[in-house]
Structure 1
Amino acid sequence: IAPDGQTATALAPLPVNALRITMQQAERLEQVGLKTIGALLGKPRAPLAARYGMTLVNRLDQALGQKGETLSPITAPPDYRTYLQFPEPLLLLDQIRQALARLAQPLCDTLRTDGIGARAFTLSLYRVDGHVRTIPLRTGSLCRDTDHLCRLFGEALNRLQEDYDAGFGIEHIVLNAFATETARHRQPRLDDGPATEDAAAFRLLLDRYGNRLGFENIHRPLPQHSHIPERAEQWRPLSYAGGKTECWRDFVQHLQGGDFPGRPIILLPRPEPVAAIAAVPDGPPLRFEWRRLEHRVHKAEGPERIAPEWWGRPRAQAALTRDYFRIEDVQGYRFWLFRLGLYERGENPRWFLHGIFS
């Protein structure tokens, strides 16, 4: 290690190859007598960059500590790995796909035997000349299915087809599995049918879109423990692994203490104000006007009272209590309205429409 202020002195006797420049650049420098780093230290930067390129100047500044350099961290070893070596290098993508199937089968078999699933994989292609091409892959849920893994990597290989360069051939292929977790076995139900198959197919579809567009760019709603309807869900990227995913119906039943009054299939992003007329102050409306259309109420059910979350904000900023009603108008349309505020507390209640049932 060179002492402080003596970096240039320590580098001066080293050959120019020590700057990690190309062989062509080193040969051109030697032709004009610039064989050591010390011979470059006193030269102006602009003529060097003009004749030999900015790479030489950047490497020289990085060696002297005058310019930063981004270093790739050491990659953590994979949790599981399978590999193949070939006596004859592979040149075609079809050959790589066939080798991928041979790699994926034993890897997934090992994961199933150990009761493990993985969320991240890499396929590394080692060329004869030492160049390595690594293809990363991620899944939204734990994966240990051979066909699904081969399909995802097959799509990734198809995207590489335009700029694919095997050089003198691929002599070594490695399939790695990262981010492994214990996979919980799901007990099949007697009534499992198309709905269960559709849910599994949808998860596989999300994996395909996630690897094309990025898992951070695809969001899904997750339950959030809040009685306020617009706060009962939070949008998280597919890569988000925190929290516990729950069944929506069970989640709402839990919020209502076991009673399940129902929630609209369409919840507006924000409650929209309506003009309503009620027979009694605390009763449901007889008619209301929303978006310049008047609706006469045929049936009403409620109220379902939802108190504000006083613990989440200062008392001075606390929201008002809501009384929700399920309304059906004379044309058969069903709405979810609430009255914000209570007459008994001397407040000035207002009506809002929050959702649509049908």
Structure 2
Amino acid sequence: MSGADSDLFFQRAADNQEHLIIRGDWVLTHYAELRERIAQDQTPAIQSADLRELGKLDTAGAQLLAELLGPELLSRLAEQDDGIGHKQGILLQRVAQTIEKSPPPPAPQGVLIVDLLARIGAASLAFWHHLVDLLGFTGLVLASLARNILRPGNWRVTSLVAQIEVTGLNALPIVALLTFMVGAVVAFLGATILESFGATIYTIDLVAFSFLREFGVLLTAILLAGRTASAYTAQIGSMKANEEIDAIRALGLNPIDLLVLPRVLAMLIALPILTLVAMFFGLLGGALVCMVSLDISPSMFLGTLQQNMDVQHFYLGIAKAPVFAFLIALIGCLEGFKVSGSAQSVGEHTTSSVVQSIFVVILVDAVAALFFMEMGW
């Protein structure tokens, strides 16, 4: 069909340019001609239309009608069912509803600096909300702990022992292996650097100082942040998704007492013990490298360690373990309670708990190192 015959598809009324008369077959065969005719129509907006002369209709034609008349007018005409078939009315209604529900076109891109500032503001606001949530959750946990500490009947001993096994005992091999290798690496690097100064004996002090004050507790905390905080989030998040936490509340039980306290206490017990193990195996790795590479015997290693290292370094290192344990357990449990109900949400909050835990551990350790340095400890 030629463009000259396009009035067979639609034509505006002579006495009312806002009224359109639809006629002919609006099907895929005439799609190109209909698209061109609609693009050429520049007269006033259409307020009403007559579909009584409409012939055949398919989805492509219905979409073009919706583009020409607008989804609201098309839906209203389809509901009136004035001169069109029942099937055609249903098709027009479905197409009009689909177009009305379609998402709006993306907003035009703004200025780069404005977008950057907007992202920074959104990130800062999200960080503030995370901080407020963490402080509020800390208050809930401390209140629950104070409420139950003098009530032995409320203690979840079985759950606590199970969490200690999962958190501490099962993590023992990986902590020991990792710290042993890091201790060996630190000793090897120290020996390589100090050899040029003829001071290889100070490799012992380097290994002992680094593991007693920093590496022992820091490596253990980072390992548990990735291993245990993620497990806490996944466990509580799965319970949240399966509505088990709602069931616990419906039974009159407190999820904080039942789920959070055993995990927090287990972490408070397990992390200091694992820190002791990490310190021991770190020193063991350093002693092995000293014995093999520097001909320093184990007795000489221990004698130098006892002579040059104050017990204060050990106290400063082990004092950070409960703080790290409390923060890691809190963040892991809090992210679990934030799960919205889908598997994707569980994965997102599990990742978030690991990132937040590691970030907080390193931040607190840096602040503690600066504080200890200023205090001269």
TM range (shorter): under 0.3
Structure scoring higher RCO (CA < 8 A, sep ≥ 6) equals 2
Higher strand fraction: Structure 1 or Structure 2?
1
TM-score by length of 2: 0.21
Larger radius of gyration: 2
Higher helix fraction: Structure 1 or Structure 2?
2
TM-score by length of 1: 0.22
